[in-house]
Amino acid sequence: MAFDTPGHDTAAFGTKGPDQNLEPLTIPRRHVGPKDVAIDITYCGVCHTDIHFGHDDWGMTTYPLVPGHEIVGRVTSVGDEVTAHKIGDLVGVGCLVDSCRACPSCAKGDEQYCQNGATQTYGSPDPHLGGTTHGGYSASIVVDEHFVLRVPESLDTKAVAPLLCAGITTYSPLRHWNVKPGQKVGVIGLGGLGHMGVKFAAAMGAEVTMITRSAGKGEDAKALGAHRVLLSSDADAMAAEAGSFDFLLDTIPVGHDINPYLQLLKTDGAMAIVGAIDAIEPVQGFNLIFGRRTVGGSLIGGLPETQEMLDFCAKHDIVCDIEMIGMQDVNEAWKRVQAADVKYRFVIDMASLKGDA
């Protein structure tokens, strides 16, 4: 891959083909409307969803595709009616760039559940330019101000980017299920999502247990703030902790057997699934019935809650643990994400795209 068009509004994109690598591409950028904010992108996180979309794993990708929904940058221009942001502000854009703003979910600030279908940052029909929306593996982006977040200047900007997806995806369910001091919370799986779940649950005052098959990941989780480690491969240890957890955050990214985890929950305990969108193995009804346990899912978070999360991060000095890469390294980085070989999120330095890195 080579980027030889510095200064252009250039982006990387995926073409469907045998190697499905990212390549350079110049795409049109939308005009800055009255409520729009133009952002010069400085950093963009690499989310596993980018890879699924790039490879059309879910059969819903339109090419060309510019991935990236963990975007941080500086405002370069604003429309006449913009009030929330001004030129020079440090801002972020997550998974959403529009929604109907009229349905009950939007009215509540749960734009991620927009009943008319939110516009995803990439891969959604683009009402402005036609085609599909293009994401943050790009020099710049134009977004309606409602979907632009204020990024606290006190935080390490590079490490803020993945908060816009991995961060809010774990923060939102911890808040929704009312995690609080004194509770025993388990985070299942240690990756991009899990490592943020540990940080947030600990900052919310819970006693946090990393639940993992790997003793090494347990030690890593302790360094991130987990108080305890429970090896899910140790049947005796799992049995000893049966019925003791208030809440479980399940970040495993593929279908799996949740029955052993359900048995860890107290009466009225809840598990939230944030990673596995495919088929979960059969649940034994008695694991729900005996103890009135619940299993739910949770999808990123709405705009107000995402701003709350960023402000929470500033207050508690929380960012993601990241590995910086140039755009030239993305194809290799994707392979390493697929091999779970990153602690815990790659972030692309967009200066590499612009030719000044």
- 122 upstream amide cis, omega within 30 of 0: no
Q: Which is closer to a copy of itself, CB of 85 or CB of 293?
A: 293
Which DSSP symbol is given to 151? P
Considering the complex, state which of residue 8 and residue 176 has its C-beta at the smaller distance from a copy of itself. 176
Q: What is the DSSP string of 287-318?
A: HHHTTT-EEEE--S--HHHHHHHHHHHHHHT-
CB of 242 to a copy of itself, least distance (A): 11
CB atoms within 10 A of CB 320: 24
The residue among 254 and 324 lying less far from a copy of itself, judged by its C-beta, is: 254
Residue 268 or 341: which CB sits closer to a copy of itself?
Answer: 268
Nearer to a copy of itself, 240 or 283 (CB): 283
Nearer to a copy of itself, 202 or 300 (CB): 300
Please report the DSSP string for 13-72 in residue order. Answer: EE--SSS--EEEEE-------TTEEEEEEEEEEE-HHHHHHHTTTTS---SSB-----EE
Closest CA to 97 of 48, 148, 56: 148
Nearer CB in complex with a copy of itself: 132/251: 251
With b for 16 or more beta-carbon neighbours within 10 A and e for fewer, the 196-227 pattern comes to: bbbbbbbbbebbbbbbbeeeebbebbeebbbb
Binding site for a copy of itself (CB under 8 A): 104-105, 110, 113, 115, 176, 243, 255, 267, 270, 273-299
What does the alpha-carbon distance between residue 229 and residue 222 come to, in Å, rounded to a whole number?
8
Helices 215-224 and 192-203 cross at an angle (nearest 10°) of: 40
Q: How far is the CB of 113 from a copy of itself (least distance, A)?
A: 4
Our CA dihedral for 78, 79, 85, 91, rounded to 10 degrees, sits at -50
Nearer to a copy of itself, 160 or 276 (CB): 276
Using the structure block, give the residue that is written with the tokens 């980027």. Answer: 3
Report in angstroms how near the CB of residue 346 gets to a copy of itself at its nearest: 23
Could you report how far apart the first and last alpha carbons of the chain are, in Å?
15
Lookup result for tokens 């790659």: 346
**Closest separation between CB of residue 262 and a copy of itself, Å?**
10
Q: How far is the CB of 111 from a copy of itself (least distance, A)?
A: 11
Q: Which two tokens stand for residue 95?
A: 């998974």
CB-nearer residue toward a copy of itself: 79 or 291? 291
β-bridge mates for residue 131, sequence order: none
